[in-house]
């Protein structure tokens, strides 16, 4: 698929360059990948999930605190002669055993990272599917506009010919009126088609980030499974939603184990140093005792905490976590059902659209022949003007149906790829170059141990579309040679 789809995409992305307006589907997908807010937001969400690993690991690391205070003794409302002291200390606590709570919390956080990465893959596939849909919508609607514009020109010529023949008495006023009515209807259809093209262009700009130019026909889709069962089998092995659901079940299980560890004892090693300076008041403070002006105390020890009874709190939290695990299991089954239904539906839509393409191609060829014959018969008086007008309308309808079927087949085929988990970054040949790497942020978050590392202030990554939209550009009609193979 990489060779067919997006040759050279890695070079474009690696150079940090994209054309001002997407001309090919490859360009549209590259632009979508770099600037679509749904995709950039999903990456930010994954970065937030990565930080949960650092948060969980922090509970197993040493805790260091410092204290400082200065005091002055009072006697009633009067300052006592003496009693001043400056005290400072540093304490270190090192967790040695916490009942498995930290270990299982870290495992749960790692499992949610796996789920988050799978969700990001799913988002990529869904957004790419939307991009393909709007790309094909613009091509379809632009083609329909062109077909309707050509129909208006043909009917204008027909009306002029009808009026000339009416002047010489070859046609009746009824024939002229029929031509005028059909021309007015064609102009109405053209206006409606132009409105739909404008809507499609706006949707394209919403997804891709720029207004479409003259779009090239898309490349052929890669080979798709010939049988529905094969497509389902691929999806069950590759769909990222199933990976995410499975990781969520694992995370919920680790959550339950982590909470259960609150019943177990905790063991910590402690050490500390305290320093006190009496600020030259030792003689008066201690009544002329032979005491130095400062002192230092050090300590080291072990601290054990053994929970005996916590009011049923831990049991309730364990039951709550197990209920959440049960919910995650049910949601995994629901995700599997959804994926299977999505694959089967997309497969059926794709096959149906292919059948529509074949039928529409036959209809176009037949209507072209019928129109040619009707016009010839009209010249010898065996066919009426209305017969010609109807034949022209039938040909237009069949061409519009063919353009629509080609769009539907391509979009359904790509949706099938997405449902099978084959419409992601790695499948479309966009990997490499200056592209987003989720592992790099995870490694940074996992290694971070500083309380003062706040990261960079976030700035929007997605592009805005509030500029003035350029005038519409009509794309070429999809021809038979461009059809999906």
Residue appearing with tokens 């036959």: 362
The CATH architecture of the domain made up of 2-60+99-263+320-450+466-482 is Up-down Bundle (1.20)
On the question of a common fold for 2-60+99-263+320-450+466-482 and 63-97+265-306, the answer reads no
Q: CA-CA distance, 324 to 251, in Å (whole number)?
A: 10
Each residue's pLDDT, cut to its tens digit, for the chain (485 residues) gives 444 344 333 323 333 334 444 478 988 998 898 889 999 999 999 999 999 999 999 989 999 999 999 887 766 555 555 578 889 999 999 999 988 999 999 999 999 999 999 999 999 999 999 999 999 999 999 999 999 999 898 888 888 888 888 888 878 888 889 889 989 999 999 999 999 999 999 999 999 999 998 899 998 888 899 999 999 999 999 999 999 999 999 999 999 999 999 999 999 999 999 988 877 777 666 665 566 778 888 999 999 999 898 889 999 999 999 999 999 999 999 999 999 999 999 999 999 999 999 999 999 999 999 999 998 988 887 888 888 888 988 999 999 999 999 999 999 999 999 999 988 877 777 655 556 888 888 888 888 888 888 788 888 888 888 864 444 444 444 443 333 33
For domain 63-97+265-306, give the fold.
Outer membrane efflux proteins (OEP) (2.20.200)
**CA dihedral over 137, 138, 140, 144, signed as positive or negative:** positive
Other Cβ atoms within 10 Å of 401 Cβ, number: 17
- Are residues 335 and 419 in contact, defined by beta-carbon separation less than 8 angstroms? no
b (16+ CB within 10 A) / e for 282-319:
beebeeeeeeeeeeeeeeeeeeeeeeeeeeeebeebbe
Q: Phi-psi category of 425—alpha, beta or left, where left has phi over 0 and alpha has psi -120 to 50? A: alpha
The residue ranges of every structural domain in the chain are 2-60+99-263+320-450+466-482, 63-97+265-306
């Amino acid at each position: 698929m990489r060779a067919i789809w997006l040759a050279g995409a890695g070079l474009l992305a690696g150079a940090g360059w994209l054309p001002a307006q997407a001309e090919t589907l490859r360009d549209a997908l590259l632009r979508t990948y770099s600037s679509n807010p749904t995709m950039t937001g999903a990456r930010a969400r994954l970065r937030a999930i990565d930080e949960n690993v650092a948060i969980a690991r922090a509970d197993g690391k040493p805790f260091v605190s410092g204290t400082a205070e200065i005091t002055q003794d009072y006697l009633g409302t009067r300052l006592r002669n003496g009693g001043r002291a400056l005290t400072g200390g540093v304490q270190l606590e090192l967790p040695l055993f916490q009942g498995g709570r930290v270990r299982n919390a870290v495992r749960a956080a790692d499992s949610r990272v796996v789920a988050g990465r799978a969700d990001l893959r799913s988002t990529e596939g869904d957004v790419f599917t939307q991009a393909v849909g709007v790309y094909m919508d613009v091509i379809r609607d632009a083609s329909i506009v062109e077909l309707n514009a050509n129909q208006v020109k043909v009917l204008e010529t027909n009306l002029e010919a009808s009026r000339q023949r009416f002047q010489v008495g070859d046609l009746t006023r009824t024939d002229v009126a029929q031509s005028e009515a059909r021309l007015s209807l064609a102009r109405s259809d053209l206006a409606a088609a132009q409105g739909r093209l404008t809507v499609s262009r706006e949707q394209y700009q919403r997804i891709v980030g720029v207004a479409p130019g003259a779009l090239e026909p898309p490349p052929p889709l890669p080979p798709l499974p010939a049988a529905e069962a094969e497509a389902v089998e691929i999806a069950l092995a590759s769909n990222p939603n199933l990976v995410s659901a499975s990781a969520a079940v694992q995370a919920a299980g680790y959550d339950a184990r982590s909470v259960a560890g609150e019943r177990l004892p905790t063991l910590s090693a402690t050490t500390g140093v305290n320093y006190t300076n009496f600020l030259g008041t030792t003689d008066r403070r201690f009544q002329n005792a032979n005491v130095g002006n400062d002192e230092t105390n050090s300590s080291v020890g072990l601290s054990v905490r053994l929970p005996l009874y916590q009011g049923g709190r831990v049991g309730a939290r364990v039951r709550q976590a197990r209920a959440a695990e049960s919910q995650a299991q049910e949601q995994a089954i629901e995700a599997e059902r959804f994926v299977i239904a999505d694959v089967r539906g997309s497969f059926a839509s794709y096959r149906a659209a292919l059948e529509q393409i074949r039928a529409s191609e036959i209809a176009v060829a037949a209507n072209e022949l019928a129109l040619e014959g009707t016009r010839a018969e009209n010249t010898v008086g065996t066919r009426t003007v209305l017969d010609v007008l109807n034949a022209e309308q039938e040909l237009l309808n069949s061409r519009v149906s063919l353009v629509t079927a080609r769009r539907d087949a391509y979009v359904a085929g790509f949706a099938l790829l997405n449902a099978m988990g084959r419409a992601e970054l790695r499948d479309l040949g966009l990997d490499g170059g200056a592209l987003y790497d989720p592992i790099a942020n995870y490694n940074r978050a996992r290694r971070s141990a500083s309380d003062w590392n706040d990261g960079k202030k976030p700035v929007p990554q997605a592009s805005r579309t509030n500029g003035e939209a350029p005038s519409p550009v009509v794309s070429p009609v999809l021809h038979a040679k461009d059809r999906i193979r």
